[in-house]
Amino acid sequence: MLQLSCCGGYVMLPFVVIFDMDGLMLDTERMARNAWLQALAEKGFQMEEASYLRLIGRTVQDAEMILGEIFGAGLPFQQVFDQRQTYYDLDIEQNGIPLKSGLIELLNFLEEQGITKAVASSTPCWFAVRKLAHVGVENRFRVVVCGDMVERGKPAPDLFLEAARRLNIQPEQCIVLEDSEAGIQAGHAAGMLPVMVPDLKPPSPEVVPIAYRIIPSLHDVIPLLQDILRDGFPQDARE
């Protein structure tokens, strides 16, 4: 593990990697989208793709607020959410949960390097832990922090800060891996090093400047981490 020192514009220090879950490790965002759209349609609500993208990376509480803004007070959110969960569970039962390409290789690499891993997901704990267990990776993370464990969801920094607190490490020693704009904003607000692996939505011009790197897949995280292991964090990476 790296030790704290300075060298040619870089800071050498131990670090941890904090993973988002849906859309980053698990290829579940399309499953969630289909379940939401089916449940909404049953109640007579049609949702456009651009509007749905606002839900990505957000907690259940935030989803209720966003859908209320879109459809108004007449939306029976709890009924829609319960039906959405029924469709989501059925999809998992019938089709399983696909992993994002490169995840297992990345987890293996981090373990070979002795780098601590955590999860910070907007998904509520009862569902997040079940999904991690379903794909057999629940024991590969030191800490799992979920959307119902903090007051504010992403893009607020609470989830990532809580993960750092539980790991007993400073935020500036954390690398965040995220697929969503809300997650990148949260990692940046936490003072961490946010790396984006986009999924359903390409990064907007507002998010591009605050992401340390935008890379196409989890396979590409390994050479990035190898560079950081060799050179350390750029001192201006979070400015």
Question: How buried is residue 238: exposed, middle or buried, by Cβ count under 10 Å (0-12/13-18/19+)?
Answer: middle
> What pLDDT, on a 0 to 100 scale, did the predictor assign at position 81?
97
In the chain, which residues have pLDDT < 50?
1-12
Task: Tell me which amino acid residue 114 is.
Answer: G
Quick: pLDDT tens for 90-122. Answer: 999 999 999 999 999 999 999 999 999 999 999
Buried/exposed 143-177: b ≥16 CB within 10 Å, e otherwise:
bbbbbbbbeebbbbbbbbbbbbeebebebbbbbbb
Spatial distance between the Cα atoms of 168 and 162, rounded to a whole number of angstroms: 10
> What pLDDT, on a 0 to 100 scale, did the predictor assign at position 233?
76
Q: Where are the domains of the chain?
A: 5-27+99-234, 29-95
* Among the listed residues 54, 106, 97, the one whose alpha carbon sits nearest the alpha carbon of residue 217: 106
> What pLDDT, on a 0 to 100 scale, did the predictor assign at position 31?
96
> What pLDDT, on a 0 to 100 scale, did the predictor assign at position 236?
60
Spatial distance between the Cα atoms of 30 and 48, rounded to a whole number of angstroms: 14
CATH code for the structural domain at 5-27+99-234: 3.40.50.1000
Spatial distance between the Cα atoms of 107 and 137, rounded to a whole number of angstroms: 9
Quick: pLDDT tens for 31-40. Answer: 999 999 999 9
